Structure formats: C-alpha cells, structure tokens
A and B are shown apart, each in its own frame.
Chain A
Amino acid sequence: MKTVTAITRATQVCLMMAVSLAMALAQPPGAPIAASSEASDQKPGSALVYNLFTSSVSNTNTEETEISVSNTNAAQAVGIRFFFINGSDGAVTQRLVTLNANQTAGLFASQVAPGVRGYVIAVAVNQATSCPVSFNFLRGSAHIKLPAGAGIRQTKLPAVALAALYTGTLGGCAAGSPSARLNFDGASYNRLPRVLAADSLLSRADGNDALLVVNRMSGSLLTNVTPIGILSGIVFDDTENPFEFSTLRSNCQTSASLSNSFPRLVPRFDNVIFPGRSGWLNFFATGGAGLLGAVINFNPNAGASAPAFSHGRNLHLVTLAPNSSLDIPVSPLPMFSPPDEARSSPSEAAPLLAVSAASFSEARLSPEAIVTIFAGNLSRNAQAAQTPLPTSLSGFKVIVRDNRGVEREAPLFSLAPEQINCLVPAGTAHGPAVVIVKQGETTVASGKAQIAAMAPGLFTANADGRGLPSAMALRVMADGKQRFEPVARFDAEQQRFLSAPIDLGVERKQAGEEVFLVLFGTGLRHRSSLASVSVKIGGLDAEVLYAGASPGSPGLDQINVRVPRVLAGRGEVEIVCSVDGAEANVVRVWIR
C-alpha cells in the first residue's frame, strides 16, 4: 500500500511538472503569421533592422539609443549577432547576444558604438557555428533621443522584421565558413523595399523639423558598407503637384532634416509645403539597392500648440526589390552580456565600460594611455582638471587593480555625469585588470579591462574613433620655412568636421615643398623601437620620423610621418598605423 501511494505521488508530481512545462511552452492562441508575409515592423522575423541608433560621447542624457530585442519563442534559445553600422563610413561593430526562451535584452548604443550614428542589423544565428538560422520569433525596437536645436528629438521605432523562408540553417553556411549571404529575394528571406514613402510632411514654417533617415540594405558587412548613391524621388504637395529631386548620398545612411537644401526642390521645400499644409514623398536608389528608413519630426511647440506634434515612425514600403543581398561575417565572436540587463542586486556597483579615448576600442588599454570610462550617474556636474593631474575630482576616484592585485589611483582629466576621462596608471601590470570608480569610500561602478603593452589609438576630429584624424599637416617650403595646415574643417550646417585636402599638387612639387603629417594618439609611447612603427597612407609605406610621447601633455602621443608625394591627386586615402604589431583605428585624409 505504501508503495502504491509513493507511485501515485510520483505520478502526480510528473503530471504537475508536465502541465507546468506545457504551460511554460504554450504559445498564444491563433494562427501563425505566414513567413512569406512581406517585411514589416509588426511581425516577428529571423533578421531585424533598426533604422537608427545614435549616442553622444559627451552627453548620453540627451543623445542615446536603447536597442531592444525579445525572443518570443516559448521553448528555444537563440544566438543573435548584432551589426552596428556606422552611417558615415560604413564601418561595422559586432556583438553576439544569446537569448533564452521568452527572454528580452537591451543594448545601449553608447556601450557598443559610442559617438556613432547609424543603423543596426540583428541576425538569428546558430550559437555553435554562428551561421544564420531560421528563427522567426525575434521582435525588437529602438528607443531613440537626439538633440534637435534647443530641444530633444525622441521616438520609438520598432525593428523591421524579415522572416527566413528556409528551415534550419542557411544553406551554404557551415562551421568555419568566413561569411554567409543573406538573400532578400522572397525565397531565402523576405524581400526588401525598393521604393519608400513618407507621408504627413509638415511645414517648416510651422516649426516642424522632420529628420529623414534612409539606410542602404545591400552589400557586405565584412568590409565597410557601400554608400547609397543617388536617391531619386518626388515630393507631392497636398494638391498633388509633383516636385522631382535627385540627390547623391555618399554614405550608407542618410539622416538629414527636410529643408531647402535637402532634398533640392524647384521651388524649394518651404515653397512646396506651406504653413498649415502638408505633403508626402517617395524615393528609390537609382543603383538598385534595397532601402529602409524612418522619419522623425520635432516641433518645439508640441506641448503648447494644437497642430504641433513630435515623434516618428518607419517609412512605408511602396514597392519591393526583386532581390538584394547582404554578406555577413560568421567568424566566432565572444558572448556579450548587456550590462543593463545584468542580474545584480541594487547594492552592487553599476557596470562601466573603459575604452581608449582615441579609438573607443575596449579591446586593450595600455599604461599611461588616455581612457574614457562610461558609467551611469557619476556626478551632477561636469568638471575638468589642470596639470598636474589630480587623482580625485569632486570626491570621485578611479582605481585600477592590475593582474598582480596592485591597486593604483588613476590621474583624472575630467568628470561628467556619465563619463570620466583619465590615464591608466603608470606601472599597471599587463593582463586582466579591474577598473573601479569610487565616490568617497563607496564603489559606484566597476568593470573589467585588458591591459597590454601596446594599445595604439588615433584621436579623430569628430571624436568617434573613425574618419578624419586629429592631425596637422606640416608643409616645409624649399627655403626651410614651415607652415601648419589643418586636415579638417568644421561645417556649421552639419555640425561636424569635414576634410580639408592636403595639397600635393604639381605646383607644390615644382616648388620643392615637402609635407609631413602629425597624427595625435595615445597608447603607443612604450613602443619597442621606431622601426616597429608602420604607417601606410593609401596603401603606401610612409616614412615614420617620430613615434612617442607628445611633449607637455600627459598621455598624449604623436606620430610624425612624411606624406609620399606619389599620393598627389588620390583623393580620400586610409591611414593604417601599426605599432609592435598592434593596429590603431583606421583614419582617412583627403589628398589633392
């Protein structure tokens, strides 16, 4: 009798467990959405496109993006490979996240690609092989805020989902494959839009500032994504009058306010959409690329005037491209744990991210290099230090505990609400280290860093770790006179630095002039020898004359190189710098 009771209890437990499991695995009622239903921001998919992300290096309170993703499958975990694409130069930053069944996660743009504006593509992948898989259960959205004049432009854009139309793993991809091709052809994945439309365009004279965002969705994520090229379209006023335009977009993402200069209309935008009136537009890339996009309106009077509104949405798809393709890398990536979703009790220290202040790379930091620490709620006020650098600002300290357990206080440059700029203390041992931010005796944030002898980074004009370097061209005349020339100029309209060409033209050559480039960086002063420093400009070796500390500035290093004269007329060229085998971030200059 006792045995029978035990069996009965065991059966009941098993039954209850089965019922519980069934409840946990239950999907909601209703018929599944057909995978063949075209791309949409209201359905789940195996690939997600977030049309805009942005963050500020200096003030993430007013410019930041939270990229969210949810696994709506009640039973299966999945790997998700994120590609953060820099809209300016097409450079790609990757992250790999794993989501369990029903799990959700958030990534803040400032923690992945600080100071960068662009778009994100997320692809469901096999956790073992990194190959794309069919997993039509991903949903996502992006909460976005960015400055707009004196105010802040805000919106929440759902991710556009593309369903996989195959089963299992994407054909042709296997463990060890360097890349995989996503074909948006209606056979492998849903098709992409060819023609997009934005309705409800309102007058600028009524205070409206509509930011139009357009992204190129084809090409390769193994290299920098290619530019959109020419966009051709039509703006219609509310009496159906058409106004055609064509505009060359030299980046893979366009994000520009609709105005009299974009798109160029005849007559201009303000004479097409009058006060109190509206219009709409459609456009496509003449080169054939699949496109996605969004429009985000900002009106500073939204809180006080009845017809004034803010916020935005994804663009409508008017027609579909028959096929577009995107090559993605499938090489293994380390798992990324979004700090925001970390399971930690409130009493534990908040996470931080320590990166090179020049390249914004978190891969390696070196002793006496300038680093930027991102963390939340550090100080209400910003404060900058003077040399000699202090180790405390407003009661905040940064301590680096090295591989040997030795703790050193870091010299501080500046303190901001969510950022500290400081030096890695001299003498910090190589290997894993812990970075700790303290306010008084309280630890307010901590995180890990990898310390190495060499972690070269080049400062950039737009403080994003890419594009134009913080550099000067030194022109030496035939008579020995010297003149410094900028390689970047500030464009007030775009609010960023643009190229100022270095002139190596025939007349300069005939005049016997030589041009040297002085690149500013950090993390390279402890090079083994000058011969270990390599600089290639436009693929050509440039003679390195100096690489080391820049006199008078803590942590600041510089590299002086002779610019090869044969580069004359090459236009934009890359500068690839390597020190003791460690590569710095790639920068670009324009040579006339």
Chain B
Amino acid sequence: MRHVKLFQHVALTLLLLSLVGLTAQAQTPLGPGSLPPAASEASDQKAGSVLIFNLYTSGVSSGNTENTRISITNTSTASTTRLRIYFVDASTGLAAGSFICLTPLQTTTFLASDFDPGITGYLIAIAVRDDGCPVSHNFLTGNAFIKLSSGHAANLGAVAFAALFPDALPGCDPLGISARIAFDGVAYNRAPRALALDKIRGVADGNSTLLVLNRIEGDMLNGTPAIGAFSGTLFDDTGAAFPFNATTNSCQFRTTLSNTFPVTTPNFSTVIPAGRGGWLNVFAASDVALLGAAINFNPNASSVRTAFTGGHNLDALTVTTTGGFTIRVFPPSC
C-alpha cells in the first residue's frame, strides 16, 4: 500500500513537472504573423539560438573613446534561456567564457570594458540547457554599439544562427566534455563562405574603411584557428575586376583599406580614386566559414556633403557547411 502511494506520488509529481514543462514551451505570439522558418539563412535581422557579434573592443586605459556595448534580448514569451558567452581574443584565438541567464522577454546590456577590458575580438552567445548542452531557442537577438579611438563607430546587429533541431543538440552528452555547434544546415544554419562589401569610397576623399573578417570555426577549449590565405576581387564602379590575395595568421583579420590591403594592380587608390566608388568580395582559400563587418570613418562627415561615417555587417554571397565551434559542456551557474 505504501509502495502504491509512493508510486502515485511520484506519478503525480512527474505529471505536474510535465505540465510545467508544457506550459514553459507554449509560446504566446508577440503579435500577428508567422514565425520565420528556422531554415532561413543566418542573418542579423532574425532571431536564433547562436549569436555572433563580429567585433568587440575596449581601450586599455580608457573605455571612453574605445568601447563596445553588447545587448542581448530573449524574445521568447515563455522560456528562460541560459547563454554561454565566449569572448574570443583576436590576438591569440583563445576564448574566455561566461554565463548569462535571461528570463522570458528580458534584455540585458553590458560594456566590453566591464567584462574583457583591453581586448579586441569577436563574441559568441550560445543558448544552452540547464545541463550545459546546446539547446534550440530561436528567440535570441542582439547588437553591438562599437566605437574605436580611431573614430570608427557603428551599431552592428548580431548575426543569428537558428537551431534546426528540437530541444537539446542531438548527441550532446551532459557528462561529456564538449559539444559541436555545427553550422552545417543540419544542426544550425550554414555560415557564409564568400562575403561582400557593397560600397567602398576612396582614401583620397578622406575615407578610412575598417574591414573585419572572422573565421567561424574553432575550439573554445584549445583556440580558434587562423583564417590563413584568402582571396577576393575589388571592382571599380564600372565593374572592372582587380583580384587580390592575402594571408593572416589570426582568427580575426582587421585592417583599413589602402594600398597596403587589398594589394591590387594598379593599387587601391588608383582603382578607386577621389569621388568614385567600388565594391569587393572576399573568401578564404580553403573551404572556411567567414563573417565580417566594415566600418567607414570620414573626419569630414560633418562638413562635406559626400562624406559619411558608419558601418554594417558584410553581406553573404555564398554559404558553406564547414563552419562551427566546439564548446565545453558543463552546467551553467544560473
């Protein structure tokens, strides 16, 4: 009899737990319309389970002129989410991890100078379950306000990758050491293979265009590999093509466009002279996933009609299934 009561109590508890679970999963829509399909390619305008912020930085001595404000919002009306946040140091490729928890509809914002002062790199936020396994939670959006002491400034949306699986990442072992976040079009959306910067202005007009490229591949335990050799084509405003090649031994490539990069024949200033424009595409020599951004700074933006300042993430021209990150699996602290 006692066993029966105990069994009934356990069954009742399980039933209550499952009801709580069901309630937690039921999403009250934020408004009319249908949710975007998860299969829609990675974008900084949609919500996802993994967010990648293409650039964060803060000054060593002062965050007043060089800093980043990261914002992340949980647009789910029902589910709390736990986020593993990785700050990837561009100079070493090594990551430092942290946790953030967001209740339904909660938003949070923090300064890079408060979390990772003096470091420049890119940031990854991954939705995980309470046991540390990556989880499907396609409700995360984010953006980064960025300013550099060089004068470059922009507000870059976080590129969102939707999970294509329900619940927890298949094959993730909570007792294991690591799990693979694969941007393969099966587990998560694919990542860009070739990128494009659609408007480039000449250096002779006072423009300084900061190009940022990130390799979307790596291991958060051992470090992210370098981009290595990469190529591209610079086009002038008549469509004439000027190919270029370069190599970097960092997971993040940052440089301002000039005669030094991209190296073209004739040189950059000749291809895009004063008063003229162009665009470029870029891709790694090997089949590597890339993300990136470009931020233009023109000190004459307030006094010359054709001078502007601002930036945005690079456009994806093609995609690949090779990108992804390996993360450590352990329970979050919240």
Contacts and interface: CB of A to CB of B under 8 A. Distances in A.
Contacts of A36: 40
A38 B107 contact: no
Contacts of A408: none
B171 interface: no
Contacts of A32: 318-319
Interface in B74-123: 75, 103-109, 111, 113
Interface string B152-173: 0111110100000000000000
B186 to A, nearest CB: 14
Contacts of A238: 106-109
A23 B296 CA distance: 30
B142 interface: yes
Count chain B CB atoms within 10 A of each CB in A105, A309, A314 and give the residue with the most.
Answer: A309
B217 interface: no
B302 A62 contact: yes
B235 A31 contact: no
Contacts of B157: 313-314, 316
B176 interface: no
B50 to A, nearest CB: 15
Interface residues of A, number: 101
Interface in B56-79: 62-65, 67, 69, 71, 73, 75
Interface stretch (B13-21, B125-133, B260-268, B306-314): B306-314
Interface in A92-138: 99-106, 108, 110
B274 interface: yes
Chain A facing B: main interface SS: strand
B241 interface: yes
B219 interface: no
Interface string A411-425: 000000010000000
Contacts of B317: 27-28, 30, 33, 44, 72
Interface stretch (B3-11, B248-256, B278-286): B278-286
A194 to B, nearest CB: 3
Contact of B302 (A61, A193, A195, A313): A61
B166 to A, nearest CB: 20
Contacts of A34: 39, 41
Given A197-B75, A199-B141, A319-B29, A242 B156 contact: no
A318 interface: yes
A28 B143 contact: no
Contacts of A104: 198-199, 235, 237, 239, 277-279
A200 B109 contact: yes
Contact of A310 (B31, B105, B153): B153
A103 B239 contact: yes
Most buried by A among B63, B154, B315: B315
Q: Which of B32, B42, B63, B314 has the most CB of A within 10 A?
A: B32
A238 B305 CA distance: 39
Contacts of B75: 197, 282, 316, 318
Interface stretch (A10-18, A300-308, A432-440, A563-571): A300-308
B71 A341 contact: no
Contacts of B276: 341
Contacts of B42: 42
A428 to B, nearest CB: 28
A30 B322 CA distance: 10
B65 A304 contact: yes
A36 B311 CA distance: 27
A397 interface: no
B320 interface: yes
Given A43-B43, A72-B196, A104-B237, A319 B34 contact: yes
A388 interface: no
A246 interface: no
A38 B309 CA distance: 29
B24 interface: no
A157 B305 CA distance: 18
B141 A316 contact: yes
Given A42-B43, A143-B199, A152-B301, A28 B281 contact: yes
B277 A311 contact: no
Counting chain B residues whose Cβ lies within 8 A of the other chain, the interface size class is: 35 or more
A400 B283 CA distance: 52
A573 to B, nearest CB: 35
Contact of B301 (A101, A139, A154): A154
Q: Interface centre among A30, A66, A156, A278, by most B CB within 10 Å?
A: A30
Contacts of A239: 106
Given A154-B301, A316-B46, A309 B199 contact: no
A316 B30 contact: no
Given A28-B283, A309-B147, A314-B157, A64 B47 contact: no
B25 interface: no
B305 A376 contact: yes
Nearest to A283: B31
A80 interface: no
Contacts of A318: 30-31, 33, 35, 47, 75
A103 B319 CA distance: 22
B116 to A, nearest CB: 14
Question: Which of A28, A105, A282, A315 has most B Cβ within 10 Å?
Answer: A28
B111 A306 contact: yes
B23 interface: no
A139 B196 contact: yes
A483 B310 CA distance: 52
Interface string A252-266: 000000000000000
Contact of A317 (B46, B69, B109, B283): B46
A139 B315 CA distance: 8
A293 B266 CA distance: 40
B45 A144 contact: no
A346 B277 CA distance: 15
27 contacts: A29-B194, A33-B317, A37-B41, A41-B312, A42-B313, A42-B314, A64-B305, A69-B198, A100-B238, A103-B235, A104-B199, A143-B296, A145-B308, A156-B309, A195-B31, A232-B31, A234-B30, A240-B105, A284-B32, A303-B65, A306-B111, A307-B69, A309-B155, A310-B145, A310-B153, A320-B34, A346-B274
Given A30-B283, A37-B40, A199-B141, 19 more contacts: A29-B194, A30-B287, A41-B44, A68-B198, A100-B238, A103-B235, A105-B237, A106-B199, A106-B277, A139-B198, A139-B315, A145-B309, A156-B296, A200-B143, A278-B71, A307-B111, A310-B147, A311-B311, A376-B305
Interface of A: 23-24, 27-34, 36-44, 60-62, 64, 66, 68-72, 99-106, 108, 110, 139-141, 143-145, 152, 154-158, 160, 193-195, 197, 199-200, 202, 232-234, 236, 238-240, 242, 278-280, 282-284, 288, 297, 302-307, 309-322, 340-341, 343, 346, 376, 418
